[in-house]
């Protein structure tokens, strides 16, 4: 595609950057599955392809789309969201200190608390929505990374990316943002001052609950980015070509799915705020949400498709309500076209900051009246 500066990311993503297969002239990119490549007669690799672990054209195409969506200098895809996040941490040096949110994706929080020490990484968890707390946690000369997740799972608190980036850069640290739930359509962290953005591409980027993948994008392809790339290659944290192809396919409808999920989540948040069985709705799109002003400033086009509700009658009632739904699917994950409900506290277990009366909702693209009626029935018991 001869790219016009007037063409939007939505247009470019819909056409997968306009790639036309040169061999078949097909409008759908082919899947490259080869594991090795022929050397030139003088023993060189002028194509740049050496071996299938670091080199795959289908993977590169997925990366190019993500870099375009994020306004990034470069991107890489990995085998899962966890592998993408841990690749960033493993690129740190022993003795480096990082700051991360108290409330964040539970699997990654567990890794930071239980596994990072084995790699010599020191971790401090703070309320990153409080910039003063972030500033206070800085260790001059030792803090090298501040990890953010906004909106944060499953409480959906909001962190001011621009403000934290200023604090970090003044201390000589980088900022990496898990923007899985915001997606590039709602928030572009690199434009707000962050250095790296991460996605569990399993979720909204793919959007069809059929791919496990992770993605990273960087503002600058510097030495730290090179170290992350080396971690991906040497530890084999790669994404297969079939998964990369399915990820490309999913991103072509990103601009249709995300607005639909945002609209549904906002409608449900407003209705459930007045439901007799609901004590609190956690959704940054509501004016009473403590992070609403920041979210309104840094999220363009919607507040995401995720919300949580706290059931007035407590944890047993929350579990019972989840057990009564018929349309909503009781399942882990988020960001697919189907709506999911989960009692998150029982999934996360002991030590979780998640309230036990909380139900996490991932809003899909079904009819909103059907979704609300099913929830209303389940909550009323």
Q: Name the nearest CA neighbour of 161 among 287, 297, 305, 335.
A: 297
| Cβ 162 vs Cβ 142: under 8 Å | no
What stretch of H or E contains 131? helix 131-137
| Cβ 247 vs Cβ 61: under 8 Å | no
Query: Given 3-state DSSP classes, what are the helix, strand and coil percentages for the chain, each rounded to the nearest 5?
Result: 40, 15, 45
User: If DSSP codes are grouped into helix, strand and coil, which group holds residue 210?
Assistant: coil
Pairing of strands 214-218, 278-282: unpaired
Active-site entry in 55, 96, 178, 374: 178
* Helical spans, DSSP H, in 177-307: 183-186, 223-234, 241-251, 254-272, 292-298
The size of the chain, in residues, is 381
DSSP 254-288: HHHHHHHHHHHHHHHHHHHTT-TTEEEEE-TTSTT
Q: Is the peptide bond before 16 cis (omega within 30 degrees of 0)?
A: no
Clarify whether 329 is annotated catalytic: no
Q: CA 232: distance to chain centroid?
A: 18
DSSP 354: S
User: If DSSP codes are grouped into helix, strand and coil, which group holds residue 362?
Assistant: strand
Residues 257 and 365: their CA atoms lie apart, in Å, by 7
Residues 63 and 17: their CA atoms lie apart, in Å, by 11
Clarify whether 51 is annotated catalytic: no
Active-site entry in 105, 204, 245, 283: 105
Clarify whether 312 is annotated catalytic: no
DSSP 69-122: HHT-SEEEEESSHHHHHHHHHHTSPTT-EEEEESSS-HHHHHHHHHTGGGGT-E
Clarify whether 324 is annotated catalytic: no
Active-site entry in 144, 188, 203, 360: 203
Residues 174 and 164: their CA atoms lie apart, in Å, by 10
Active site (catalytic) residues: 53, 105, 178, 203
């Amino acid at each position: 595609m001869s790219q016009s500066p007037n063409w939007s990311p939505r247009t470019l993503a819909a056409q997968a950057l306009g790639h036309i297969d040169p061999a078949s002239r097909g409008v759908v990119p082919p899947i490259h599955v080869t594991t090795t490549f022929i050397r030139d007669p003088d023993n060189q690799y002028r194509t740049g392809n050496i071996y299938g672990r670091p080199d795959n054209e289908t993977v590169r195409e997925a990366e190019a789309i993500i870099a375009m969506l994020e306004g990034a200098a470069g991107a890489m895809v990995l085998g899962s969201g966890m592998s993408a996040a841990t690749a960033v941490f493993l690129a740190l040096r022993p003795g480096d200190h990082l700051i991360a949110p108290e409330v964040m994706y539970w699997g990654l929080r567990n890794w930071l608390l239980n596994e990072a020490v084995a790699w010599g990484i020191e971790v401090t968890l703070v309320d990153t929505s409080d910039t003063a707390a972030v500033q206070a946690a800085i260790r001059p000369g030792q803090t090298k990374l501040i990890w953010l997740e906004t909106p944060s799972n499953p409480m959906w608190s909001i962190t001011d990316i621009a403000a934290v980036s200023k604090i970090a850069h003044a201390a000589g640290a980088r900022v990496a943002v898990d923007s899985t739930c915001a997606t590039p359509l709602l928030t572009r962290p690199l434009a707000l001052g962050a250095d790296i953005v991460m996605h569990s591409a399993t979720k909204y980027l793919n959007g069809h609950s059929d791919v496990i993948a992770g993605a990273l994008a960087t503002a600058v392809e510097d030495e730290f980015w090179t170290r992350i790339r080396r971690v991906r290659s040497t530890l084999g944290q790669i994404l297969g070509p079939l998964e990369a192809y399915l990820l490309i396919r999913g991103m072509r409808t990103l601009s249709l799915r995300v607005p639909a999920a945002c609209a549904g989540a906002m409608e449900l948040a407003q209705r459930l705020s007045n439901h007799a069985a609901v004590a609190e709705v956690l959704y940054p799109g509501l004016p009473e949400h403590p992070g609403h002003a920041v979210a309104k400033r840094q999220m363009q086009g919607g507040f995401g498709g995720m919300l949580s509700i706290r059931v007035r009658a407590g944890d047993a009632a929350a579990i019972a309500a989840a057990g009564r739904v018929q349309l909503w699917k009781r399942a882990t994950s988020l960001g697919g076209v189907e709506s999911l409900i989960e009692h998150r506290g029982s999934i996360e277990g002991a030590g979780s900051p998640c309230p036990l009366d909380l139900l996490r909702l991932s809003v899909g693209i079904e009819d909103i009246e059907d979704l609300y009626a099913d929830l209303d029935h389940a909550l009323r018991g």
